[in-house]
Amino acid sequence: AQTISAKTKHNRMSHTEGGWPKEINPKDEEAVSRYRRRIEKTDNWAPRMRNLLSGMEKRVLQNNTLNIYQHYFDDMIPTELVLPLGV
């Protein structure tokens, strides 16, 4: 397959357990459930979720653009590894 060069940009994200506030213990199901109900009742919850999901959808579609089943390098001759596998 012929590919063209594309400009890329590196992004990083740090994710801790659920991103819960300090006063919420993520292992306490009742506290988590109360917190979720409180947040979901706020007026801006739905628009914020739509905003987050649209960004996530873009990333998922980017990750699905490569056909993992296509043989891209059939014309290359296989070579031996420089180091043995046990090293």
Identity of residue 6: A
The b/e string for 22-51 (b: 16+ C-beta within 10 A; e otherwise) is eeeeeeeeeeeeebeeeeeeeeeeeeeeee
pLDDT tens per residue, range 6-15: 888 888 877 6
pTM (global) more than 0.85: no
- In this prediction, residue 84 carries a pLDDT of 63
Domain borders along the chain are 29-63
For 31, residues 6+ apart whose C-beta sits below 8 A from its C-beta are 24, 25
Beta carbons within 10 angstroms of residue 72's beta carbon? 11
**Tens-digit pLDDT profile for residues 33-79:** 999 999 999 999 999 999 999 888 888 887 776 777 777 778 888 77
Q: What is the pLDDT of residue 71?
A: 78
2-21 in b/e form (b: 16+ CB < 10 A) is: eeeeeeeeeeeeeeeeeeee
Residue 31 DSSP SS3: helix
- pLDDT at position 26: 86
